[in-house]
């Protein structure tokens, strides 16, 4: 037997595994690195986050990725070069975290790497009749494995598409295994660049569970701030949006997109919700002269409105519901205030910290759970295919040498 297969077998047989979950999201703010102690599998999965760090990207990374990110036309040579470059960079960032945490690479069973999405095009968002869903993450796992010396499981989304899903969101797999509660109906809400939610009835009925993207979380707000308030990357503590007034005509136009009338589950990305989307809405409503503060106030309300509508649609099915939020949007006070005001039956929106998971680490942890399933799971049946949750093992395995 090859030594790597033997080591994998031994990892799979352990009571507890150390898995590093990595997420590099659509906001391009940094690489989320979560060192997780994982035991069990399926509905018995237990996770403890031993250490978490967001390793910030420098301007060089952001500039390079932005040249290809969500672009229909771009330099194919650059894409080819970025694929190994991002993998090696992520590997170096993991090494940096391990040194800081004083943890040896040999003690880690696996890295679970999401990679960097550069283009996402579900069937609903492209016009090619010959093609179905597609999504592309760069940062090849072989480069991470060789750079860190740690077996790396990556490229999770392709199997989802191969098995009939749209490639996203994958949150449902981890959310269902880890956050389902027999005591209450739950919505797990993540507000990153794109917002998504997972619907978890307390019945734990797998056929009723689903995850769906909702629409923009921070992505258009971030892009607007980067365009008009550089070098700021985002509207820290809603400082800009709080100074403006919502423009109702623009808000109505922004909400007028067929994505919002598609049934759950569905997926989207910054390929649709971007500055061009905003510019078209401003032109249509003759609001191109609005102040930056008013535009930001309107964008903030827009995100809140689509998120609140999704929560309201789910809670109408679930009855009483508790919402647990994660992702950078929880740090945007105006956004949180708007969402609460649009869901009057909610007394509060908690965050996943009360369930034991740092809300900024949650997506990285989800990929650690997927890697754990790849290694030691595989017995869990998920809900029905129609809900976009095929029962599959995700992730490709890269060895260190």
Report whether 41 contacts 377 (CB < 8 A). Answer: yes
At how many degrees (to 10) do helices 141-148 and 76-101 cross? 30
**25 assigned binding-site residue:** yes
Residues near 207 by Cβ (< 8 Å), separated by ≥ 6?
Answer: 383, 384, 387
The H or E element that residue 158 is part of is helix 157-162
Residue selected from 30, 154, 169, 395 as contacting ligand AH0 according to rule CB under 6 A: 169
Tell me how far apart the alpha carbons of residues 264 and 214 are, in angstroms, rounded to a whole number: 9
Residues near 83 by Cβ (< 8 Å), separated by ≥ 6?
Answer: 138, 139, 140
Q: Is 109 in the site for ligand ATP (CB under 6 A)?
A: no
Q: Tokens 């990679």: give the residue.
A: 115
**377 assigned binding-site residue:** no
How many residues belong to the site for ligand ATP (CB under 6 A)?
A: 21
At how many degrees (to 10) do helices 219-228 and 292-318 cross? 170
Which one of 79-87, 186-194, 271-279, 318-326 is the stretch in contact with ligand AH0 (CB under 6 A)? 186-194
**31 assigned binding-site residue:** yes
Residues near 318 by Cβ (< 8 Å), separated by ≥ 6?
Answer: 185, 187, 199, 201
Residue selected from 11, 26, 212, 305 as contacting ligand ATP according to rule CB under 6 A: 26
Residue selected from 119, 156, 178, 234 as contacting ligand ATP according to rule CB under 6 A: 234
Least Å distance, CB 51 to ligand AH0, is 20
CA 104 to chain centre: 28
Q: Is 236 in the site for ligand ATP (CB under 6 A)?
A: yes
Least Å distance, CB 75 to ligand AH0, is 21
Q: Is 332 in the site for ligand ATP (CB under 6 A)?
A: yes
Q: Is 351 in the site for ligand ATP (CB under 6 A)?
A: no
Pick between residue 26 and residue 41 the one whose CB is nearest to ligand ATP.
26
Least Å distance, CB 362 to ligand ATP, is 8
Measured in degrees and rounded to the nearest 5, phi and psi for residue 395 equal: 110, 140
Which one of 10-18, 81-89, 169-177, 326-334 is the stretch in contact with ligand ATP (CB under 6 A)? 326-334
Tell me how far apart the alpha carbons of residues 367 and 321 are, in angstroms, rounded to a whole number: 26
Residue selected from 168, 363, 371, 383 as contacting ligand ATP according to rule CB under 6 A: 363
Residues 166-205 that bind ligand ATP (CB under 6 A): 190, 192-194
Q: Is 170 in the site for ligand AH0 (CB under 6 A)?
A: yes
**142 assigned binding-site residue:** no
**287 assigned binding-site residue:** no
**Nearest residue to ligand ATP, using CB?**
328
Report whether 46 contacts 105 (CB < 8 A). Answer: no
Least Å distance, CB 400 to ligand ATP, is 27
Q: Is 212 in the site for ligand ATP (CB under 6 A)?
A: no
237 binds, among ligand AH0, ligand ATP, none (CB under 5 to 8 A by kind): ligand ATP
Tell me how far apart the alpha carbons of residues 182 and 186 are, in angstroms, rounded to a whole number: 10
């Amino acid at each position: 037997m090859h030594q790597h297969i033997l080591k994998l077998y031994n990892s799979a047989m352990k009571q507890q595994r150390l898995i590093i979950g990595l997420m590099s999201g659509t906001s391009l703010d940094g690489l989320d690195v979560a060192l997780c102690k994982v035991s069990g599998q399926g509905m018995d999965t237990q996770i403890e986050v031993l250490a978490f760090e967001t390793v910030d990207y420098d301007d060089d990374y952001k500039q390079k990725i932005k040249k290809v990110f969500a672009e229909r036309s771009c330099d194919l040579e650059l894409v080819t070069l970025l694929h190994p470059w991002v993998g090696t960079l992520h590997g170096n960032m993991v090494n940096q975290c391990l040194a800081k945490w004083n943890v040896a690479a040999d003690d880690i069973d696996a890295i679970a790497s999401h990679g960097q999405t550069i283009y996402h095009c579900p069937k609903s968002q492209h016009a090619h009749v010959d093609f179905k869903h597609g999504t592309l993450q760069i940062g090849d796992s072989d480069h991470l494995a060789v750079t860190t010396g740690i077996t790396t499981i990556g490229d999770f989304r392709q199997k989802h598409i191969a098995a009939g899903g749209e490639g996203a969101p994958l949150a449902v797999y981890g959310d269902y295994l880890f956050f389902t509660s027999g005591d209450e109906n739950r919505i797990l809400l993540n507000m990153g660049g794109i917002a998504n939610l997972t619907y978890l009835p307390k019945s734990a009925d797998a056929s009723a569970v689903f995850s769906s993207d909702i629409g923009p979380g921070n992505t258009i707000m971030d892009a607007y701030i980067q365009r008009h308030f550089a070098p700021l990357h985002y509207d820290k503590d809603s400082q800009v949006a709080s100074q403006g007034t919502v423009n109702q005509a623009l808000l109505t136009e922004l909400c007028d997109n067929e994505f919002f009338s598609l049934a759950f589950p569905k997926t989207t990305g910054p390929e649709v919700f971007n500055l061009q989307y905003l510019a078209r809405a401003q032109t249509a409503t003759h609001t191109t002269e609005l102040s930056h503060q008013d535009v930001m106030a309107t964008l903030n309300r827009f995100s809140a409105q689509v998120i609140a509508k999704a929560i309201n649609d789910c809670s109408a099915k679930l009855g009483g519901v508790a919402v647990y939020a994660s992702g950078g949007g929880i740090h945007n006070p105006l956004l949180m205030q708007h969402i609460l005001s649009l869901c009057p039956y909610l007394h509060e929106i908690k965050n996943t910290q009360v369930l034991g998971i740092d809300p900024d680490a949650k997506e990285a942890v989800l990929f650690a759970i997927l890697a754990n399933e790849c290694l030691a799971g595989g017995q869990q049946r998920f809900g029905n295919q129609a809900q976009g949750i095929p029962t599959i093992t995700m992730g490709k395995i890269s060895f260190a040498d």
